[in-house]
Structure 1
Amino acid sequence: MRNYFTMPVAVHLFLLRGQEILLLRRYNTGYEDGNYSVPAGHLDGNEEVKAAAIREAKEECGIDLAPSDLSLAGVMHRRSFDERIDFFVVARNWQGEIVNAEPDKCDELIWVDLDKLPDNMIPYVRQAISNYRRNEWFDSFGWEASSAHAAN
C-alpha cells in the first residue's frame, strides 16, 4: 500500500464589521507571539471547513456562527517550517458578543481598518487579507525562499 503525503490544514476567520476586521494578538503560544492574526485553528480531522470555523469562533471569540454566515475568502498553499493548506472564510454576521475566550493564548482583540493593518501582523495572514480584497481566491506563500535556497 502506498503512503501518501499529508499536511496540516487550518481555517482562518475574517470577522468583518464594515471596513474593519477583528484581529487577535498571539500570546504564550510559542508561535508568532506578539503578532496579530485572525481567529484560526487546525481542522480536527473528519471535520468540514465551515464546521471548524464555527468551532474556532466559539472557542476563541465566544460567538456563534451558522454555516450560512460563512463564505469562502480564499485558499493558500503555504510553506513555513512545514507545508500547509489554509482556508480563509468570511463572516459579517454572528450571534453573541465577541470576547477574548482564550486569554491564555491571546492578549488582545482589536477591530482594525482594513487599510491600516498593524506592522506586526503574521505575513501570510496579511497576504490572505490582501488577496481577499483583490478577489484572488488562491495563493502560494513561502515557496520563494525555499526555491532560492534550493537553487544555492
Structure 2
Amino acid sequence: METKIGIGVMVFKDGKVLMARRKGSHGQGEYAFPGGHLEYMEGFEECARREVREECGIEIEDIEFLLIANVVKYAPKHYVHITLTAKWKNGEPVNREPEKSEAWAWYSLDELPEPAFEMCSLSVRSYTRDNTTDPSLGEKDKYQVTDDRRSIPPVYVERTICYGEKRVDDKGRVSYSLGDVTVGVTSDERRVYHVRYEHD
C-alpha cells in the first residue's frame, strides 16, 4: 500500500473543538476532527477549507499549522498526518457525510470524548503542550515552528525520517538528515519538532 497524506483540522469555537465519531473506515468508533486526504497539487489551507465544508457545512478562518506525524497505528494503512488549527467563521455543523461519521458536536479540550482517533490524540497533546516524553528538549526547541517547516513538503520530511542518517547529539536529541533536509524528532520518534533546510 502507498503512503497517503491526511489533513486534520482542529476547529475552535468559544474554546471548544469540533469532533465526531468515525465509521466505515480505519479508526471506526473513535472520535476525530474533520479532515481528509490532500489532493494532488492542493495547498494545506485549501484542503482544510474544502474538507470542513464538505463534511460539516461550515466555514473556517485563521488557519495555522500545528503538527506533522508519521502514523502507522492503523497498519497496513500508513499516513503522514498534518494537523491545522482554525477558528469557526460561520454556519452550523451538519453531518454531510453520514456514511463516514456520526453527528458533529463541540467539546471542551478538558472533556474530550473517548476513544480518540490517534491523529487527534497527538494533536491535542501538541496543542496543550502536555507531551513530556523528551525532557531533554527545551521549550524553544520542543515547540519550534520554523519557516522551513511550513514550506518543505511533508513527503520530503517523511522521506528524510525513513531514509536519512539518524543522529543523537550530546543532549540526547534525535534527528535525521538526508541531503539538505534535517528533521528533529522527539525521543519516542512520534512527533516532529523541527525541520531545517540547509541551502546556499
User: Which range, TM-score by smaller chain?
Assistant: 0.7 to 0.9
Gaps of 5+ in 1: 1-5, 143-152
Map of 1:37 onto structure 2:
32
Deviation at 1:14, TM superposition (A): 0.4
Map of 1:89 onto structure 2:
84
SS in 2 for 1:126: helix
Higher RCO (C-alpha under 8 Å, 6+ residues apart): 1
Query: How many correspondences in the alignment?
Result: 134
Using the size of structure 1 for normalisation, the TM-score is 0.77
* CA deviations over 1:15-51 (Å, ceiling 9, x no partner): 1123211111112x13222210110101111111111
What aligned pairs does 1:1-152 form with structure 2 within 5 A after superposition? 7-27=3-23, 29-66=24-61, 69-80=62-73, 81=75, 82-134=77-129, 136=143, 140-141=189-190
Q: 1:141 to 1:108 in 2, by over 3 A?
A: farther
Q: 1:64 to 1:19 in 2, by over 3 A?
A: closer
2-structure distance, mates of 1:125, 1:74: 10
Q: Percent identity?
A: 25
Query: Partner letter of residue 12 of structure 2?
Result: L
2-structure distance, mates of 1:46, 1:64: 22
Using the size of structure 2 for normalisation, the TM-score is 0.60
* CA deviations over 1:49-100 (Å, ceiling 9, x no partner): 111111101110111235xx21112211222314321111111132322211
Deviates more, 1:111-120 or 1:46-55: 111-120
2-structure distance, mates of 1:106, 1:124: 16
Gaps of 5+ in 2: 130-141, 146-184, 192-200
1-structure distance, mates of 2:119, 2:190: 7
